[in-house]
Structure formats: C-alpha cells, structure tokens
Amino acid sequence: MNRETDRELKAYCLAFDELGPAPVADVRSLTHYGEPYDGNTRYFRSTLFVAAVRSCYGESSLLHGVEWMPPKGGVTEEQMLKFMGAKTNLSLHQGKKFIEAEEVGFAYISKREARPSLYSLIGLREQIKKRPSLATTEKVQQFIRAKGRESIVAGFYHEGYEEPLLKLMKRRGVHSGLVVKLLFKGEEGALSMTTRLRSASKGLPVNHCSGFRSVGIESACEVDGVSRQSFRLEVNAMDYGFEPTDTPRTNRSVSKNIELGLAALRGEKGPAYDRIVLNAGIVDHLLGCDGAEDESLALERAKEAIDSGKAHKRLLNYIKMSHKVK
C-alpha cells in the first residue's frame, strides 16, 4: 500500500500475462490508453472521443477498463459506450477486428472479458477502500498487440509513480511511452491535458508530461537496439492558440459527459472541443507519430477530423459494429 518495489510491479504485470500471447492487429500504429479504472467523478473524460479523432488519420487506439471500480466509482468509457447503445463485452479477437476495421480504427476492451480472474478482485478492492498496487500495472497493459509501432499513454497522481510507470512501459517493449500528471489543483484531469490557465502550485505543474520515443527505427517492429529519446516538459495550451478555459464539470453524470463529447465531435467549439483537439494532436506529437513532427500540423489534422464529421461518424460506426461483429 505504501509503494510497490520494482520486483512487485514486474510480478503484477506477469499476472496480467497469464493467458498467453495477445492477438496481433494488422495496423501500422497502436496506442494503448491506460486511463484510471475508477473513472472521473467531477470533470469531462475525453479519451473515448480522442480515440475516434485519432482513428481518422490512421492512429489506432485501444482503450481498456471496467464499468465501475472503487475507490472513486466515477464515469468510465464502458459506462459511456453502454449508455450510447454499444456492446461492451468484446472478446480480444473481436477488439482486434475493430482496430483493423477501416471504418472504426479503435476499440474498448473490458477487463471483465480480458482478465476475468483479475476482474473478480473488484469486491476485495471495494473492501480495501484505498488504491491497491494493481492500479499501477493495469494502466500499462497490451491486451491486443500490433504489427506496427506501439505506444502506451498512462497517468499518475501520487508522487513517485512517474518513473516506475515509464520503466514498466519500456519493459513492455513499446516504441513510445507517455505519462501525464492526473490531477491539477482544483481539477480532476484523468489522462487529459487541460486548457486551463497555469497557476503557481506545489509539486509538478499543470500539463506535466514525461516519456520517451524510439529514434532510428528502420523497421516498425524493431525495438531492441534502438535508442530512446527521453523528454520531460510542461505543455502550455496557450502556446498553440487555445484560450484558457476550465474543464467542463460533469459531476458523475454519464449523459453529461456524452453530451459534451458528442457536441464537440459535431464541431461545436468550446472547452470540450479544445480539450479533445489538444489531447489528440499533442499526444501524437509527443509519441513521435507519423505526420505529427510539427505540433501545429498535428493539431490541424485533429481539427479536420472533427470539423469534417469523420470522427463523429467513426464513433457511430463503433456502436453499430459492436452489434454485428462475431
């Protein structure tokens, strides 16, 4: 409870690997998003909508989690997808089809389906009340692999977890890894960077990011022997033309979170739209994705994916396909 050792973290990861090799999707790029499994209780959770945006230009995403998890018991991707009418019991092989599908390009996998034995610990975690050690390693899972480049994005809040998470990502053998500070003063951020105005505070600043990306890759699957370029920075949304805004509050409302996300994907400008664009474009840039070397171009293609209606259509396609996939 007071910090896992490196060996303990490695052991928890091995527990997730108990079912053997993961299915491999035939895509050139796949980003694994390690959102906190216990959800958001106060503020807009944007990753589902970011995944729809990134899929429009070939950056596939895999989201994973549960419907409900203590200690926070907040809004999750599974709750949102279920509310919108999507099936949330996809198997790993069905999720692979979603990622490969040209009209979708992203997937959500429930831990209930991926790792039933670990999912069964929810009751115990509710009794514990506080955050268990398992919460660190469940963020860096690769339930589905890719033939091409792989990245992991995760978040941290408690001091001291930044480097252990990056070490776990490197141990997973991914090409790029990114960790984002989860909670800012007065704002619950989950995996999203915010467009709020920076303010002086103790500890790490707003939009603190750190990670690594592989350089000198000759083939998409090559990792060993490739040097890694580390980075550590604070993203200032104003530098990219965003007006300072507070993240919209949802107060445990699944419908409010969906309302904000869908309105943004329909092109309605505002804080939710800005947050989705920022977190699609800047994450692409930090991970070293193709075509995102320039931050401005990365943000523009995210805007185009929304303003053209493509991202909204991808999300609707996901819901439809969830009822047809076998």
pLDDT in tens, 119-131: 999 999 999 888 8
pTM of the model: 0.94
N-to-C CA span, the chain: 41
**Res 227: pLDDT:** 79
Which amino acid, residue 159?
A: E
Average of per-residue pLDDT across 85-96: 98
Question: With bands split at pLDDT 50, 70 and 90, how would you rate the model's confidence at 201?
Answer: low
6-322: CATH topology is Pyrimidine Nucleoside Phosphorylase; Chain A, domain 2 (3.40.1030)
pLDDT at 218 over 50: no
By C-alpha distance, which of 319, 303, 316 is closest to 267?
A: 303
Query: Taking CA 163 as the corner, what is the angle to CA 160 and CA 167, rounded to the nearest 5 degrees?
Result: 140
Question: With bands split at pLDDT 50, 70 and 90, how would you rate the model's confidence at 3?
Answer: confident
Which amino acid, residue 243?
A: E
Average of per-residue pLDDT across 103-117: 97
Query: Taking CA 177 as the corner, what is the angle to CA 96 and CA 107, rounded to the nearest 5 degrees?
Result: 20
Question: With bands split at pLDDT 50, 70 and 90, how would you rate the model's confidence at 316?
Answer: very high
pLDDT tens for 24-83 read 999 999 999 999 999 999 999 999 999 999 999 999 999 999 999 999 999 999 999 999
- Look over the chain and give the mean of its residue pLDDT values, rounded to a whole number: 91
Instruction: Identify the weakest region by mean pLDDT among 180-184, 194-198, 292-296.
Output: 180-184
| 216-220, 226-230, 238-242 — most confident range | 238-242
**Res 219: pLDDT:** 40
pLDDT at 222 over 80: no
**Res 321: pLDDT:** 98
**How do the domains of the chain map onto residue ranges?**
6-322
Average of per-residue pLDDT across 220-242: 80
CB-based contact 299:282 (threshold 8 Å): yes
C-alpha to C-alpha distance for 225 and 112, rounded to whole angstroms: 36
Average of per-residue pLDDT across 307-315: 98
pLDDT tens for 239-294 read 999 999 988 999 999 999 999 999 999 999 999 999 999 999 999 999 999 999 99
Burial of 67 by CB count in 10 Å (0-12 exposed, 13-18 middle, 19+ buried)? middle
Alpha-carbon 174 to chain mean position: 15
Phi, psi of 208 (to 5 degrees): -70, 130
pLDDT at 179 over 50: yes
C-alpha to C-alpha distance for 159 and 171, rounded to whole angstroms: 21
**Res 220: pLDDT:** 42
Tokens of 245: 């805004």
Tokens of 137: 């390693």
Phi, psi of 25 (to 5 degrees): -85, 140
pLDDT tens for 182-193 read 766 556 656 889
